[in-house]
Structure 1
Amino acid sequence: MAQTTASRQPNILILMVDQLNGTLFPDGPADFLHAPHLKALAARSFRFAQNYTASPLCAPGRASFMTGQLPRRTRVYDNAAEFASDIPTFAHHLRRAGYRTALSGKMHFVGPDQLHGFEERLTTDIYPADFGWTPDYRRPNERIDWWYHNLGSVTGAGVAETSNQMEYDDEVAFFATQKLHQLARDSDDPERRPWLLTVSFTHPHDPYVARRQFFDLYQGIRELDPQVAAIPYDEMDPHSQRLYKANDAAQFDISADDVRRSRQAYFGNISYLDDKIGGLLATLAATRMQDDTIVVFASDHGDMLGERGLWFKMSFFEGSARVPLMIAVPGRPGGRIDAPVSNLDVAPTLGDLAGVAMDEIAPWTDGESLVPLIEGGSRSAPVAMEYAAEGSAAPLVALREGRYKFVHCELDPPQLFDLESDPNELSNLAGMAEHAQRVETFMTQIAARWDMAAFDAEVRASQARRHVVYPALRNGAYFPWDFQPLQKASERYMRNHMDLNVLEEEKRFPRGE
């Protein structure tokens, strides 16, 4: 367990970003990235170089991140599946252990519960909380044009002074900074509770639009070109073909300049985030809480960024499924850890670092604490992933074990990749005689872990229920589930029921200097 200078439970600051490709974080940010604050954080963090999402899509990936449970267990299969209130999250575990818990930013909760263990939420979400984005396995070849991704994000990439997403992340950072100041002012109270603050940005998620100051940092660099050229449609694996159709790719003529401009804006938005995160870390230091605070940097899923001709996420290829994870623990020097791990491991790890008994968390998680790895131990359990959302027609599952990744779907031929010799996943070994035994071993593990027919039936039943409920709720009087941040204006700043002298002293940090 972490020790802090005050010998109290550590505070925890989670910095979460959206759609950040983990291959760009082989050991902290890649050298070409202009990310000085993230590089400084990496230097004092445990850096998990081969960390994976539990599901490469926003809502299921985030529900799994918070609970440590795979989507089949949370039933958050897609971006419009309800996240049930009775599923414990790390916010519940830590709040039960005495923590103050707060969220600023995106977590893509679907359903009437918009807190899931957080005592307070400082902003609304950027995405809707209802069932409107529900896929439909009954119509596998029908594209839902009004909400599915399309490649207009690529052809429209470039520079803007502001955007919907910039406006949101500017607000997320502002309220998170304000909250850190509030927490610092409360820290003199000897009875104060330790805190968990999750700050969750929506960048570098598409659309690929960046402010000029960040876009120009990457002018002309060689990383603007993908390592793997676009693969012709008839040479793609079946799931990539489904994603090609889901993204309406045939309707767009993507040029090399479109690709470079999109990647340049994406890299620029990493620098934009670095600037925001740098401000938060500076506030943490200025308010004298750095030495008592664990800092976690994470993402929900990655982005293919034009590799193989694919964009966004929704697949188990490395660009989509591999995500950064860095954990800075006061009093520990950090270091690189190469064992494959998962976002499923974050919830039990936070509990472990906070001193929560593991037997209280273990029944509610499919992951395992990373503290043994941090302390020099080893890990042998494979990393599991699931996907059952847009662009799929039946659930897909994957296992990462050692140097190999195995992907299974009842509709498709199996895929086996040796990530050490073939990091770009260009050679599917599943059909080769010399790997037949390995494929058989993986299939045995798949069968032991998943009942694929039951999984498929559960997803279809969930979709069918939501296709009944959603249009009903939109007919007539409509009460949205979107989180509505409430502020009591009469308790803010300066009001006549407050003692002015007491107020000014309490709101100053540090006091009396």
Structure 2
Amino acid sequence: MTAKQPNILFLMADQMTASALPIYGHPLVKTPHLSRLAAEGVVFDSAYCNSPLCAPSRFTLMSGQLPSRIGGYDNAADFAADTPTFAHYLRDAGYTTALSGKMHFCGPDQLHGFEERLTTDIYPADYGWVVDWEDFETRPSYYHNMSSVTQAGPCVRSNQLDFDDEVTFRARRFLYDYVRNGERRPFCLTVSLTHPHDPYTIPQQYWDRYSHDDIDMPRVPYSRALSDPHSERLRHVYQLNEETLGDEQIRNARHAYYGAISYVDDRIGEVLATLKECGLEEDTIIVFSGDHGDMLGERGLWYKMSWFEDSARVPMLVHAPGRFAPRRVAESVSTMDLLPTFVELARDGVAPEYAAPIDGRSLLPHLTGNGGHDEVIGEYLGEGAIAPLLMIRRGRYKFVHTAPDPDQLFDLAADPLELNNLAADPAHQGLCQEFRNEMASRWDYGRLYHDVIASQRRRKLVARSLMKGKVTAWDHQPVFDASIQYMRNIIDLDDLERRARFPVVSSDRP
């Protein structure tokens, strides 16, 4: 292990689709800070989430394990306290670990290895959003509907702006306190913003960064012929039919989404400026990623919850120019690979004996240009589904299987928009059978289905019962001790001002 373990600054954006970023070729969206990191860093051109829904994607990212292994099925799944996370491993390796922002932990444990959690979460920590595959037609009120699109446009203030402004402030305060307090341990600071997640609204200044007439429309509009059964179920879940939206509403939503991406970039810029002001830039590895994408009207779909590229593919980059030369990585990787990557970065490239099985694989070979894997395994077990949707992405192909529906096979090299399902093509039957055989060996499909149903039944009962009588919230409550903040009589004024000022001023300064 090196004498100085690197700091790790992990930046996350929620529901940011890779195709909307200029680092992946979008001609309109403006992200100067992310673009600089990409130009100086290692950019992953084919990075995916392992479950295209907030909570299961984040549980998988945190644990390096697939949702089926840890019971992380949907947005109300319990994330067990004994599941090791990258925060546990890094803390065990001598790091101070902190989270500012969203991670959508469900259950009583709201820390999961983080020594400090600087904000509450924007989403509830209880089981109230449990999915019910046994009663698909009854639509819970919490499901996405189309109001995010029909009401898209500028705003003065929103719930998400309140949250992300606080996330940014607390993250910057953490960095200032880190250097002022003389902390000797390296840090892993996770800064997780909730933009550009819907609802699609953003202040006028960000709306005005883009000409409305320049906003591009979906490349693949909705058509019945192109749709598939799972996509039609998703449209049912968020109450979308062929008469719901007009072109202007679609353009408004995409316009606001692009503005929200620029808002995220500005907040990231503030954190990066603070990192530099504190003299921490050279010793810090910066990682940026998302939890899943957003369909943004492509194929008549919105939000996430499917294995199509705009839903499942995420941005990912690693910025450490003193360690890794700038390059692009073409091989397919996933956010599940971040845990072993973080742990090996903290241990000078040496993998530990993991306390639980790890499904992810380290990205260090990719970062150093010494090979690396080219495979993503995925599971979707949440809303809009009626049975597990399993995915394998390898080489040029993506294969998707769910028992109720026809299989899907796409050649992404020849067909990046996924317009031609090859699963029924006689020339690809051998390849499809190979994928089916692999899935049969990886998963006990029937058992997984019944495990999900059993979990849903348990959580429905628990959620219902805990809302009766006295309600005890699981939501994280940040505590700030005002008795030791700012000016107090427990410390000499001059001493307090000296400690709070950075850089430190010499006492013999003329």
TM-score bin (small chain): over 0.9
Asked if 1:80 is matched to 2:76, the reply is: yes
1:263 to 243, 254, 261: 254
Aligned partner letter, 2:501: R
Change (3 A) 1:29 1:499: farther
> For 1:60 and 1:308, how far apart are their aligned partners in 2?
24
Shift of 1:142: 2.2
Shift of 1:53: 0.2
Aligned partner letter, 1:101: T
Tell me, yes or no, if the aligned pair for 2:9 and 2:189 is still in contact at 8 Å. Answer: yes
> Following superposition of structure 1 onto structure 2, how do residues 181-260 of structure 1 map, counting pairs within 5 Å?
181-187=176-182, 192-220=184-212, 222-232=214-224, 235-250=226-241, 253-260=244-251
> Following superposition of structure 1 onto structure 2, how do residues 78-477 of structure 1 map, counting pairs within 5 Å?
78-144=74-140, 146-187=141-182, 192-220=184-212, 222-232=214-224, 235-250=226-241, 253-331=244-322, 332-355=324-347, 357-361=350-354, 363-477=356-470
Tell me, yes or no, if the aligned pair for 1:348 and 1:361 is still in contact at 8 Å. Answer: no
Tell me, yes or no, if the aligned pair for 1:151 and 1:247 is still in contact at 8 Å. Answer: yes
> For 2:213 and 2:317, how far apart are their aligned partners in 1?
26
Q: Deviations over 1:176-213 (max 9, x none)?
A: 111111112134x5xx1000110101000000001111
Tell me, yes or no, if the aligned pair for 2:130 and 2:459 is still in contact at 8 Å. Answer: yes
Shift of 1:474: 0.8
Query: Which of 89-98 and 487-496 deviates more?
Result: 487-496
> For 1:259 and 1:215, how far apart are their aligned partners in 2?
15
Change (3 A) 1:147 1:367: same
> For 2:306 and 2:375, how far apart are their aligned partners in 1?
18
Q: Deviations over 1:441-479 (max 9, x none)?
A: 111111111111111011000000011111111110110
Aligned partner letter, 1:370: L
> For 1:251 and 1:495, how far apart are their aligned partners in 2?
63
Shift of 1:231: 1.8
Q: Secondary structure at the match of 2:194?
A: strand
Tell me, yes or no, if the aligned pair for 1:29 and 1:39 is still in contact at 8 Å. Answer: no
Tell me, yes or no, if the aligned pair for 2:292 and 2:313 is still in contact at 8 Å. Answer: yes
- The runs of 5 or more residues in structure 1 that have no matched partner are none
Change (3 A) 1:325 1:149: same
Aligned partner letter, 2:144: H
Q: Secondary structure at the match of 1:456?
A: helix
Q: Deviations over 1:267-318 (max 9, x none)?
A: 0000001111001101101111000001111110000000011000000000
> For 2:43 and 2:281, how far apart are their aligned partners in 1?
19
Change (3 A) 1:389 1:184: same
Tell me, yes or no, if the aligned pair for 1:28 and 1:42 is still in contact at 8 Å. Answer: no
Q: Secondary structure at the match of 1:224?
A: coil
Q: Deviations over 1:141-188 (max 9, x none)?
A: 2221x100011111100000110111111111111111111112134x
Aligned to 2:60: 64
Aligned partner letter, 1:295: I
> For 2:374 and 2:283, how far apart are their aligned partners in 1?
32
Tell me, yes or no, if the aligned pair for 2:14 and 2:195 is still in contact at 8 Å. Answer: yes
Tell me, yes or no, if the aligned pair for 1:382 and 1:401 is still in contact at 8 Å. Answer: yes
Q: Secondary structure at the match of 2:209?
A: helix
Shift of 1:29: 6.8
Q: Secondary structure at the match of 2:331?
A: coil
Aligned partner letter, 1:504: E
Structure 1 length-normalised TM = 0.95
Tell me, yes or no, if the aligned pair for 2:22 and 2:30 is still in contact at 8 Å. Answer: no
Q: Deviations over 1:231-277 (max 9, x none)?
A: 22x65111001101011113962000011110000000000011110
Tell me, yes or no, if the aligned pair for 2:48 and 2:313 is still in contact at 8 Å. Answer: yes
Tell me, yes or no, if the aligned pair for 2:8 and 2:189 is still in contact at 8 Å. Answer: yes
Paired residue total: 504
> For 1:169 and 1:380, how far apart are their aligned partners in 2?
34
Aligned to 2:490: 497
Tell me, yes or no, if the aligned pair for 1:68 and 1:365 is still in contact at 8 Å. Answer: yes
The percentage of aligned residue pairs carrying the same residue is 50
Tell me, yes or no, if the aligned pair for 1:293 and 1:330 is still in contact at 8 Å. Answer: no
- The runs of 5 or more residues in structure 2 that have no matched partner are none
